[in-house]
């Protein structure tokens, strides 16, 4: 019997004994032999229930103190057995989901996830494999699932995330993260002086679900294959379809339909109109004065070329960007950071602590297959829509400095 059931039964017996005694008290008499016998029986039952309660409580406490069995591996094994191709084919063939795919979707629906198509785990798009083979599936089964090392969807192509952004997976609804805005200050006092209140102040940063999706096309012949290499090919195609849009938004996002990108959110600005070593150090000094320790530069390929061909000091060896680093910090180069439009266009450079970025992901990836879309149908192909939900917010906007005046 469960602990709560034992307690309910004991409470009922106590109430029964109280009712028996109350009858005699109301009539202002002692209990008679029959009532005494009934009371003794109830008393014995209460004592027995108290013994059961003590034993059940002991077991619950012991179980609570027992180290739990990690469930990450079991979940990883389930997710690793899910096939993206099977998710598409089940919709094309209009059949019920089976196996690991059915189990995963049932679990997601129990957690409140809704989908127009079929849900597949985000982890399918995160794993790293040294090689693919058509003779074994070992390459797609993780040896050790590390939830603490989770890297979100699209890891291979997301420049911002590769620079250290923190990923918060499996979110539900809006996520509010408290943030300390000001700190207390210490004060030196003379004898009898009173301390001045310098209490902390707080505000919040919020991650809100924002949806990104794309439509791609797969041939029927491709979907009829059933080996790990083709499965990985389909996954990589989905990654490539969505990754550029996500990465672009993390930098240029307007904060309306898209996440608020770094160019919009960052509060620090700098200038490299005069491109020299002293100007670079001035930019870094501005971050140091805010107690920010930057970990990366981010720039466009044309800006990188300019930096690689600009001497640190006239007449002396050494360039501003040398060996992939500038002023001791690594430089990430991507076309995802656009030049600033104008006549002429100027180059952009972002520097900051990219670990101050939170990237949130909601739920799984929704895959909806449409075999009757007009164009793909005529070619014997299948149209596939991919949807995922994410958002990005810097924990501290002052952790980044944006420079937009580099002459090219």
Per DSSP bridges, beta strands 118-120 and 400-407 are unpaired
Tens of pLDDT, residue by residue over 301-315, are 999 999 999 998 887
* Residue 265 vs residue 219, higher pLDDT: 265
The model's confidence at residue 226, banded by pLDDT at 50, 70 and 90, is low
Task: Give residue 66's pLDDT.
Answer: 58
Contact 305, 311 (CB under 8 A): no
Q: Determine the angle formed by the axes of helices 3-26 and 33-65, rounding to 10 degrees.
A: 160
Interval 188-209 mean pLDDT: 82
Report the alpha-carbon distance of residue 152 to residue 157 in Å, rounded: 11
Give the residue among 260, 254, 234 at the shortest CA–CA distance from 358: 260
The DSSP code for 7 is H
- Beta strand residue intervals within 22-152, DSSP E: 118-120
* % of the chain exceeding 70 in pLDDT: 87
Helices (H), 111-193: 159-162
The DSSP code for 70 is P
- Specify the pTM: 0.65
């Amino acid at each position: 019997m469960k602990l709560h059931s034992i307690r309910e039964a004991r409470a009922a017996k106590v109430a029964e004994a109280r009712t028996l005694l109350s009858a005699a008290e109301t009539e202002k008499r002692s209990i008679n032999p029959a009532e005494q016998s009934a009371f003794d029986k109830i008393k014995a039952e209460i004592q027995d229930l108290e013994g059961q309660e003590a034993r059940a409580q002991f077991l619950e406490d012991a179980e609570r103190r027992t180290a739990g069995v990690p469930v990450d591996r079991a979940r990883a094994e389930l997710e690793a057995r899910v096939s993206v191709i099977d998710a598409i084919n089940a919709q094309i063939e209009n059949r019920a989901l089976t196996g690991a795919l059915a189990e995963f979707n049932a679990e997601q629906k129990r957690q409140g996830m809704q989908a127009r198509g079929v849900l597949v785990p985000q982890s399918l798009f995160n794993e790293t494999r040294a090689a693919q083979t058509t003779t074994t599936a070992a390459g797609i089964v993780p040896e050790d699932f590390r939830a603490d090392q989770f890297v979100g969807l699209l890891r291979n192509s997301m420049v911002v995330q590769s620079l250290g952004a923190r990923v918060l997976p499996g979110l539900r609804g809006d996520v509010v993260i408290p943030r300390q805005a000001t700190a207390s200050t210490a004060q030196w006092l003379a004898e009898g002086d009173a301390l001045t209140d310098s209490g902390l102040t707080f505000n919040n940063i919020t991650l809100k679900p924002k949806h990104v999706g794309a439509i791609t096309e797969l041939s029927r012949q491709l979907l009829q294959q059933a080996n790990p290499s083709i499965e990985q090919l389909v996954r990589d195609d989905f990654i490539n379809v969505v990754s550029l849009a996500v990465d672009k938004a993390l930098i240029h996002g307007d904060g309306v339909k898209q996440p608020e990108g770094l160019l919009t959110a960052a509060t620090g600005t700098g200038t490299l109109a005069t491109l020299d070593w002293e100007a670079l150090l001035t930019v870094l000094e501005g971050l140091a004065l805010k107690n920010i320790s930057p970990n990366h530069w981010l720039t466009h390929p044309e800006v990188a070329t300019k930096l690689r061909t600009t001497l640190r000091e006239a007449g002396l060896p050494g360039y501003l960007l040398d060996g992939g680093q500038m002023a001791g910090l690594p430089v990430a180069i991507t076309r995802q950071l656009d030049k600033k439009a104008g006549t002429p266009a100027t180059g952009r450079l972002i520097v900051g602590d990219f670990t101050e970025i939170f990237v949130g992901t909601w739920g799984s990836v929704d895959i909806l297959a449409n075999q009757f879309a007009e164009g793909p149908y005529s070619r014997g192909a299948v149209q596939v829509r991919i949807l995922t939900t994410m958002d990005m917010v810097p924990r501290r906007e002052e952790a980044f400095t944006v420079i937009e005046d580099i002459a090219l």
